[in-house]
């Protein structure tokens, strides 16, 4: 029987080596190792043998099975490699040809609006500044003249970091160095810029901010842009002109009407809210119109408070400035007709395809910042 098995082994390995393709190789596998295969039948006979016969014949039959299985695996690898080499040799890709289709991905409206803002303010001489999203209590509140008792500092409005609070309470660090919260606005970037740069300063600070709030027009994480100008002889008139120029360029209309209302912010004095006029078109609010049907609040602004300038080591009698801030998400909603803020962060591909922008829609003032 041993001689017969050796002959069987040579015959099967020869057939495997001679297989010209994967289909022929699969036929060899089924003939040898399939449910009705020759080797499978031999393995079934082991149960009928005596222990002594099984001790002798078992290793021989198992060795035959392993030899055939290894031969099939090696031949399969050889055939697949030869097929791949032939495919690579026959296929060519001309990289100079134009793409068959436009990119499938889209630019998120928030990213698009950020690019639009950067383009508009760059034309006005503003630089883009950034800062950490995990902030200190001093940069986020104290340096901005926000009192210890101000509601904005409350736990139900601000996301505090327990480790930061513990470090400060233990006296291991002061409020200027202990990162203890997620920034509630991008105003800390203004503080860091005034501390690190000498005036004159003209920056915008776009980025993510965090507050404990969630509904159709509020989310726990949202995007905000703030602007800051520090120079000599700055007045409220400079602020008004800057905001009018910005809003007209952003909405791409010359018939924009702004209204300034007195307000209060701890970090500006005087403080003003900015409303933009809208007209009703088929029941929807459309920004613009020489004779507005109503007003929409879009941002807060004002002259930088003396205490804020002093906190940054500058002389408020020599340097003055203005600041403004608005929600990027809300600007996107207002400009592109979205009525709910929550889908901005749902990741729904259908929403992104509808409201997203082409990667080639790069905002420029000459070609238009919008879609």
> Widest CA span of the chain, in angstroms?
109
Answer whether 279's CB lies under 8 Å from 296's CB. no
Tokens 């740069």 map to which residue? 197
pLDDT band at 317 (very low <50, low <70, confident <90, very high): very high
Nearest to 271, CA basis, from 217, 314, 319, 308 = 308
CA-CA distance, 194 to 304, in Å (whole number)? 12
215 vs 116, residue with greater confidence:
116
Rounded mean pLDDT, 10-37: 88
Tokens for 294? Answer: 């109503």
Give the contacts of 30 (CB within 8 A, at least 6 positions apart).
Answer: 37
Beta 127-128 vs 201-210: how paired, if at all?
parallel
- 93-111: per-residue pLDDT in tens? 777 877 776 667 788 999 9
- Least confident range from 16-30, 147-161, 234-248, 258-272: namely 147-161
CA-CA distance, 142 to 135, in Å (whole number)? 12
Tokens for 311? Answer: 């906190």
CA-CA distance, 261 to 279, in Å (whole number)? 20
Q: What is the mean pLDDT of the chain?
A: 86
DSSP 3-state assignment of 153? helix
Element (H or E) spanning 248, and its range?
helix 236-251
How many angstroms from the chain centroid is the CA of residue 184? 19
Residue 170 confidence (pLDDT) above 60: no
Answer whether 322's CB lies under 8 Å from 229's CB. yes
64 vs 119, residue with greater confidence:
119
Q: Do the annotations mark residue 53 as ligand-binding? A: no
Residue 146 confidence (pLDDT) above 70: yes
Tokens for 368? Answer: 């238009």
- 50-86: per-residue pLDDT in tens? 888 888 888 888 888 898 899 989 999 999 999 888 8
Tokens for 187? Answer: 């105003």
Residue 343 confidence (pLDDT) above 60: yes
């Amino acid at each position: 029987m041993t001689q017969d098995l050796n002959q069987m082994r040579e015959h099967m390995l020869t057939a495997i080596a001679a297989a010209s393709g994967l289909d022929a190789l699969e036929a060899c596998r089924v003939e040898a190792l399939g449910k009705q295969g020759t080797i499978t039948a031999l393995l079934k006979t082991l149960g009928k043998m005596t222990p002594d016969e099984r001790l002798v014949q078992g290793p021989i039959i198992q060795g035959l099975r392993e030899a055939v299985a290894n031969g099939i695996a090696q031949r399969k690898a050889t055939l697949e490699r030869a097929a791949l080499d032939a495919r690579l040799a026959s296929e060519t890709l001309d990289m100079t040809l134009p793409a068959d289709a436009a990119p499938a991905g889209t630019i998120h409206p928030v990213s698009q609006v950020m690019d639009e803002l950067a383009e508009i303010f760059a034309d006005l001489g503003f630089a883009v500044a950034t800062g950490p999203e995990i902030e200190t209590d001093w940069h986020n509140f104290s340096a901005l003249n926000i009192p210890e008792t101000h509601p904005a500092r409350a736990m139900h409005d601000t996301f505090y970091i327990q480790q930061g609070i513990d470090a400060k309470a233990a006296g291991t660090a002061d409020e200027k160095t202990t990162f203890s919260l997620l920034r509630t606005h991008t105003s800390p970037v203004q503080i860091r810029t005034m501390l690190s740069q000498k005036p004159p300063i003209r920056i915008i600070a776009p980025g993510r901010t965090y507050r404990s709030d969630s509904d159709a027009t509020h989310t726990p994480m949202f995007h905000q842009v703030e602007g800051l100008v520090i120079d000599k002889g700055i007045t409220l008139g400079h602020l008004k002109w800057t905001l009018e120029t910005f809003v007209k360029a952003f909405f791409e209309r010359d018939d924009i009407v702004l209204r300034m209302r007195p307000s209060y912010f701890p970090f500006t004095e005087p403080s003003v809210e900015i409303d933009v006029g809208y007209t009703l078109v088929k029941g929807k609010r459309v920004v613009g119109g020489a004779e507005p049907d109503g007003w929409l609040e879009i941002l807060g602004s004002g002259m930088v408070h003396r205490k804020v300038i002093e906190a940054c080591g500058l002389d408020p009698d020599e340097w003055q400035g203005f600041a403004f801030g608005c929600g990027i998400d809300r600007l996107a909603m207002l400009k592109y007709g979205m009525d709910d803020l929550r889908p901005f962060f749902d990741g729904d591909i259908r929403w992104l395809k509808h409201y997203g922008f082409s990667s080639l829609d790069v905002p420029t003032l000459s070609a238009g910042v919008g879609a």
